[in-house]
């Protein structure tokens, strides 16, 4: 595998870390900036909405650039945004900084995956893309727990300084190792936009939205739930995030194999598993051991959906692979924003933090119904849920 793939993996690690690390530090951010936990949760929502809205805009804005130039420019936005996060004097500056950071997210993964595939022979393209996205998985396994630990020890700004340095290392690597002899990109964006039609594609994107909403209704408020309901220490929150990261990784590996087996059945089963484990967590949250076991199983169930969701969208958007890939990242983050908002509404309405996971369970049930509709009403007869 070319060295450029490792640089792309480092970039995705940095992007994934800065997106998710804030969730482990919501109490510290809220206390330091004198806002409530739900208001701090909007920092997750704002980032996600910026990705969702900015992904297609940035894809269009960079369509005329060579992919190497586009990736370098996007990483520049990432560095600027994280630097602003590290020095933000108040809540609103931090919110703007998160939005600036998020602008690079969707387009970077969309363009980066195309570049990754172009660096290797035909029979290794899938492995090349997987290696790039390994950085995102490692962000959940290592970046978020370690970033949370650094934030608790040295202040919530510390992780953003570290991620800024990772961004500098990434952009230096992109400049050094990405091919310079790349041909100019074809002006095919209009054709891809014209191809974004059909009920199946939009149902597939809606399925992605419900998945992320189900996950982030719970995940956004994981730190305050563990501290205030389970009664764990900040250090235990870090270890729990590490356990969740391992569960996400295992689920991602299992989900890829299951999606190759039966796509529709996998999606339906995963949504049901998310709904059940989220509901169970609202009960086991009162016990440390029960909470840890449930969260691990919940994480494995959640990320088992990711490969299947990606395949589902690409199957319906084969005539627009570049733009569909970017828009699906936006769909993930639309769901992130929706889930964080719903969790905040539950808290603002006076319900207990222990009831927040039930909101995630409800979103998962909506996702399950969307899967049934997609494969029953849109797929050709005979494919149904057994479709691959």
Residue 358 pLDDT greater than 50, yes or no: yes
Find out whether 245 and 144 touch, Cβ atoms under 8 Å: yes
Q: How confident is the model at residue 1 (pLDDT cuts 50, 70, 90)?
A: low
Long-range contacts of 64-67 (CB under 8 A, 24+ apart): 64/185, 64/187, 65/185, 66/182, 66/183, 66/184, 66/185, 67/111, 67/114, 67/115, 67/182, 67/185
Average pLDDT, the chain: 84
Please indicate whether residue 146 or residue 63 has the higher confidence score (pLDDT). Answer: 146
CA 136 to chain centre: 8
Residue 384 pLDDT greater than 60, yes or no: no
Q: Confirm whether pTM is higher than 0.85.
A: no
Q: What per-residue string of b and e applies to 72-109 under the rule 16 or more CB within 10 Å gives b? A: bbbbebbbbbbbbbbebeebeebbbbbbbbbbbbbbbb
Q: How confident is the model at residue 192 (pLDDT cuts 50, 70, 90)?
A: low
| Mean pLDDT of the 50-71 span | 82
pLDDT of residue 125: 65
Q: How confident is the model at residue 382 (pLDDT cuts 50, 70, 90)?
A: very low
pLDDT digits (tens, 9 = 90+) for 123-134: 666 567 667 777
pLDDT of residue 20: 81
Find out whether 246 and 46 touch, Cβ atoms under 8 Å: no
Q: Which two tokens stand for residue 363?
A: 């979103």
pLDDT digits (tens, 9 = 90+) for 299-356: 998 878 877 787 788 778 777 666 777 788 778 878 888 998 899 899 888 888 889 9
The residues, any chain, with a CB within 8 Å of residue 76's CB and separated by 6 or more, are 171
Q: Residue 352, Cβ neighbours under 10 Å: how many?
A: 13
CA angle 113, 115, 118 (to 5 degrees): 110
pLDDT of residue 122: 62
Question: 186: which DSSP letter?
Answer: P
Radius of gyration of the chain (CA): 20
Percent of the chain past pLDDT 70, that is, above it, reads 89
Handedness of CA 242, 243, 248, 251 (dihedral sign): positive
Whole-angstrom distance, CA of residue 72 vs CA of residue 108: 9
pLDDT of residue 223: 84
Please indicate whether residue 9 or residue 59 has the higher confidence score (pLDDT). Answer: 9
Find out whether 93 and 102 touch, Cβ atoms under 8 Å: no
Q: Residue 319, Cβ neighbours under 10 Å: how many?
A: 15
Q: How confident is the model at residue 388 (pLDDT cuts 50, 70, 90)?
A: very low
The domains of the chain, with CATH numbers, are 1-185 (1.20.1250.20), 191-388 (1.20.1250.20)
Please indicate whether residue 166 or residue 245 has the higher confidence score (pLDDT). Answer: 166
| Mean pLDDT of the 104-129 span | 75
Residue 244 half-sphere exposure, CB side, CA atoms within 13 Å?
A: 28
């Amino acid at each position: 595998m070319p060295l450029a793939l490792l640089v792309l993996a480092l970039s995705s690690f940095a992007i994934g870390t800065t997106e998710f690390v804030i969730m482990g530090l919501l109490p510290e951010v809220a206390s330091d900036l004198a806002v409530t936990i739900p208001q701090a949760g909007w920092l997750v929502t704002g980032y996600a909405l910026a990705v969702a809205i900015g992904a297609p805009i940035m894809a269009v804005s960079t369509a005329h650039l060579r992919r190497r130039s586009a990736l370098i420019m996007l990483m520049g936005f990432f560095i600027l945004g994280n630097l602003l996060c590290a020095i933000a004097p108040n809540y609103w500056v931090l919110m703007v900084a998160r939005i600036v950071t998020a602008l690079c997210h969707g387009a970077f993964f969309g363009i980066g995956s195309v570049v990754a595939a172009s660096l290797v022979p035909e029979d290794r393209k899938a492995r090349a893309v997987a290696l790039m996205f390994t950085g995102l998985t490692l962000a959940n396994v290592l970046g978020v727990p370690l970033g949370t630990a650094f934030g608790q020890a040295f202040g919530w700004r510390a992780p953003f300084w570290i991620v800024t340095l990772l961004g500098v290392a990434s952009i230096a690597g992109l400049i050094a190792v990405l091919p310079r002899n790349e041909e100019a990109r074809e002006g095919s964006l209009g054709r891809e936009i014209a191809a974004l039609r059909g009920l199946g594609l939009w149902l597939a994107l809606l399925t992605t939205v419900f998945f992320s909403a189900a996950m982030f209704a719970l995940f956004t408020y994981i730190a305050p739930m563990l501290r205030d309901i389970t009664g764990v220490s900040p250090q235990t929150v870090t270890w729990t995030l590490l356990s969740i990261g391992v569960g996400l990784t295992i689920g991602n590996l299992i989900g890829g194999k299951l999606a190759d087996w039966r796509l529709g059945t996998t999606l339906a089963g995963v949504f049901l598993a998310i709904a059940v484990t989220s509901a169970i967590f609202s009960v086991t949250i009162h016990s440390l051991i029960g909470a840890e076991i449930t969260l691990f199983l919940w994480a494995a169930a959640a990320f088992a959906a990711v490969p299947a969701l990606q395949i589902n969208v690409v199957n319906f958007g084969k005539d627009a692979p570049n733009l569909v890939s970017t828009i699906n990242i936006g769909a993930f983050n639309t769901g992130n924003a929706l889930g964080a908002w719903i969790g905040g509404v539950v808290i603002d309405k006076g319900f207990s933090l222990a009831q927040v996971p039930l909101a995630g369970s409800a979103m998962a049930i909506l996702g399950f119904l969307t899967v049934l509709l997609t494969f029953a009403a849109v797929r050709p007869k005979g494919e149904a849920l057994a479709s691959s």
